[in-house]
Amino acid sequence: MSLGLIEARNDEDEFEFLGNGGALGRLIRDCDWASTPLGPARDWPGCLKTATALLLQSPVPIVMLWGEQGVMIYNDAYSIFAGGRHPDLLGSNVREGWPEVADFNDNVMKVGLAGGKLAYRDQELTLHRKGVPEQVWMDLDYSPVLDESGKPAGVIAIVVETTERVLADRRNAAEHERLQQLFEQAPSFMAMLHGPEHRFELVNPEYRKLIGERDVLGKTVGEALPEIAGQGFVELLDTVFETGQAVSRFSERVLLQRSGEAVEERYLDFVYQPIKSDDGKVTNIFVQGSDVTLRVRAENHQRLLVNELNHRVKNTLASVQSIVMQTLRGSHSMEEASGAISARILALSAAHNILTNENWDGADLSVIVASSTDAFDGPARDRFRIKGPHVRLGPRAALSMALALHELATNAVKYGALSNETGFVTIEWSVNNTGDDGAFMLTWREIGGPSAPVSDRKGFGSRLILRVLPMELGGTAQIDYGPEGFFFTLDTTLRAIEESVSGG
* Confidence at 457, pLDDT banded by 50, 70, 90: very low
Q: Confidence band (pLDDT; 50, 70, 90) for 362?
A: confident
Taking 3-state DSSP, the helix, strand and coil percentages for the chain, each rounded to the nearest 5, stand at: 45, 25, 30
Give 18-61 pLDDT, tens digit per residue.
Answer: 988 789 999 999 999 999 999 999 999 999 999 999 999 999 99
pLDDT computed for residue 358 by the predictor:
59
Which of residues 344 and 21 earns the better pLDDT score? 21
429, β-bridge pairs:
442
Between 471 and 153, the higher pLDDT residue: 153
Pick from 394, 396, 354: nearest CA to 374: 354
pLDDT of 314 higher than 60: no
Q: What is the pLDDT of residues 223-276, one digit of tens each?
A: 999 998 889 999 999 999 999 999 999 999 999 987 666 788 999 999 999 999
What phi and psi, each to the nearest 5 degrees, are found at residue 242? -80, -40
pLDDT per residue over 389-441, tens digit each? 999 988 888 888 888 888 888 888 888 888 888 889 999 999 998 878 899 99
Q: Which residues pair with 125 in a beta bridge?
A: 136
For 249: left if phi > 0, alpha if psi spans -120 to 50, otherwise beta; the answer is beta
Q: Which amino acid is at 169?
A: D
State how beta strands 424-432 and 384-387 pair. Answer: parallel
pLDDT-above-90 percentage for the chain: 51
Lowest mean pLDDT among 272-276, 295-299, 371-375, 439-443: 371-375
Q: Residue 186 has what pLDDT?
A: 79
User: H or E segment at 283?
Assistant: strand 282-291
Percent of the chain with pLDDT over 70: 82
Question: Sheet containing 476-481: which strands, arranged edge to edge?
Answer: 384-387, 424-432, 439-447, 486-492, 476-481
Helical segments of 280-292, H only? none
Q: Where in the chain is the domain with CATH 3.30.565.10?
A: 297-498
DSSP 320-348: HHHHHHHHHHH-SSHHHHHHHHHHHHHHH
- Is residue 397 a contact partner of residue 500, using CB atoms and an 8 Å limit? no
CATH 3.40.50.880 for the 297-498 domain, yes or no: no
* Interval 465-482 mean pLDDT: 84
What is the rounded average pLDDT of the residues 289-295? 91
Q: What confidence score (pLDDT) does residue 80 get?
A: 93
> CB–CB of 370/386 below 8 Å?
yes
- Is pLDDT of 286 > 80? yes
Determine the Cα–Cα distance for residues 224 and 160; give it in Å rounded to an integer.
49
pLDDT of 500 > 70? The answer is no
pLDDT at 325: 47
Phi, psi of 166, rounded to the nearest 5 degrees: -60, -45
How many Cα atoms within 13 Å fall on the side-chain side of residue 42?
8
Alpha-carbon dihedral of residues 387, 392, 396, 399, nearest 10 degrees?
A: 40
CA distance 401 to 34: 121
The pLDDT of residue 174 is: 86
pLDDT at 347: 57
Q: Please name which of 116, 117, 113, 118 lies closest in space to residue 68, comparing C-alpha atoms.
A: 113
- Predicted pLDDT of residue 483: 76
Domain with CATH 3.30.450.20 in the chain: 12-166, 186-291
Q: What is the sign of the dihedral through the CA atoms of 305, 306, 309 and 314?
A: negative
Q: Would you place residue 4 in the very low, low, confident or very high pLDDT band (cuts 50, 70, 90)?
A: very low
CB neighbour class for 308 (10 Å; exposed up to 12, middle 13-18, buried from 19)? middle
How far apart, in whole angstroms, are the C-alpha atoms of residue 28 and residue 64? 13
Residue 394 is given by DSSP the state: P
How far apart are alpha carbons 461 and 449 in whole angstroms?
Answer: 19
For residues 170 and 164, what is the distance between their CA atoms, to the nearest angstrom?
A: 10
- What 3-state class would DSSP assign to 212? coil
* Polymer length in residues for the chain: 504
Going by C-alpha positions, the residue among 183, 181, 182, 200 that lies closest to residue 192 is 200
Q: For position 59, what pLDDT does the model report? A: 94
What span, in angstroms and rounded, lies between the C-alpha atoms of 447 and 420?
11
C-alpha angle 255/260/262, rounded to 5°?
45
Q: Is 158's pLDDT higher than 50? A: yes
65 contacts 164 by C-beta, under 8 angstroms: no
Do the Cβ atoms of 47 and 153 come closer than 8 Å? yes
3-state secondary structure of 123: strand
N- to C-terminal Cα separation, the chain:
134
- What are the CB-based long-range contacts (under 8 Å, 24+) for 462-465? 463/326, 464/403, 464/404, 464/407, 465/404, 465/407, 465/408
Mean of pLDDT over the chain: 84
- The topology under which CATH files domain 12-166 is Beta-Lactamase (3.30.450)
Q: Which CATH number fits domain 186-291: 3.30.450.20, 3.30.70.100, 3.40.50.1000, 3.40.640.10?
A: 3.30.450.20
Is residue 321 pLDDT above 50, yes or no? no
Q: What is the DSSP string of 43-73?
A: GS-HHHHHHHHHHHH-SS-EEEEETTTTEEE
Is residue 2 over pLDDT 50? no
Indicate the pLDDT class of residue 113, thresholds 50, 70 and 90: very high
